[in-house]
Amino acid sequence: MSDWIEIGTIEDIPVLGARVVSTADGNIGVFRTVDDEIFALRDECPHQKGPLSQGIVHGKRVTCPLHNWNIELDGGAVVAPDEGCTASYPVKIEDGKIFLSLVATA
């Protein structure tokens, strides 16, 4: 797995917020937690494809704006009792810059 793509800096994303990286295969939501951890998920809720990047980020989770499903930012699993998983993408930070790999881990 390689092909890291620089997508911006941590400061480009609001704390407890998200930005979208658009790709030929659809959008990826890039999320920033209160501790400046960065996670990338396919921007689709497993439930009805709601854009997760538009949800409220809390802890290491995001709440989908359409029907309030909660998704783990780390790995993309849906929080019980709902079920499902959304694809997540590897991210690394170097000198405040965010690098994204388009090879989904799940």
Partner 1 sequence: MKEKLVLIGNGMAGMRAIEELLDIAPEMYDITVFGAEPYGNYNRILLSPVLAGEKTIDDIMLNDEQWYADNGIALHKGKKVSSIDRRNRKVIAEDGTTEEYDRLLLATGSNPFIIPVPGHDLPGVISFRDIYDVDAMLESSKKHKHAVVIGGGLLGLEAANGLMLQGMHVTVVHLVDTLMERQMDAVSGGMLKKSLEERGLNFLMGTSTEAIIGEDHVKGVRFKDGLEIAADLVVMAVGIRPNMELAESVGLHCERGVVVNDTMQTYDPKIYAIGECVQHRGDTYGLVAPLFEQAKVCANHLAKMGIARYEGSVTSTKLKVTGIDLFSAGDFIGDDTTEEIVMQDAGRGIYKKIVLKDNKIQGAVMYGDTVDGAWYFQLMRDGTDTSDFRTALMLGQAHLGDSGHGGNTAAANMSDDMEVCGCNGVCKGDIVKAITTKGLFTLDDVRSHTKASNSCGSCTGLVEQILASTLGGDYSAAPHSKPMCKCTDHSHDDVRQAIKERHLISIRGVMDAMQWKSVDGCASCRPALNYYVIATWPAEAKDDAQSRFINERAHANIQKDGTYSVVPRMWGGLTTPKELRAIADVVDKFKVPEMKVTGGQRIDLFGIKKEDLPAVWADLNTAGMVSGHAYGKSLRTVKTCVGKTWCRFGTQDSTGVGVELERLSWGSWMPHKFKMAVSGCPRNCAEATIKDYGVVCVDSGYELHVGGNGGITVRVTDLLCKVETEEEVYEYSKAFMQLYREEAHYLERTAPWIERVGLSHIKQYVEEDAENRKALAARFDESQKYAQIDPWAERASKGVAKHEFTSLKQIG
Contact residue for partner 1 among 4, 65, 75, 104 (CB under 8 A):
65
41 binds partner 1 (CB under 8 A): no
Per the CB < 8 A criterion, the answer to whether 2 and 95 are in contact is: no
Cβ at position 56, least distance to partner 1 in Å: 4
- Burial label for 54, CB within 10 Å (0-12, 13-18, 19+), is middle
Q: Is 75 in the site for partner 1 (CB under 8 A)?
A: no
Out of 4, 23, 75, 104, name the contact with partner 1 by CB under 8 A.
Answer: 23
Burial grade of 34 (CB within 10 A; 0-12, 13-18, 19 or more): exposed
Residues that bind partner 1 (CB under 8 A): 5, 7-8, 12-17, 19-24, 27, 30, 34, 48-51, 54-59, 63, 65-68, 70, 81-82, 102
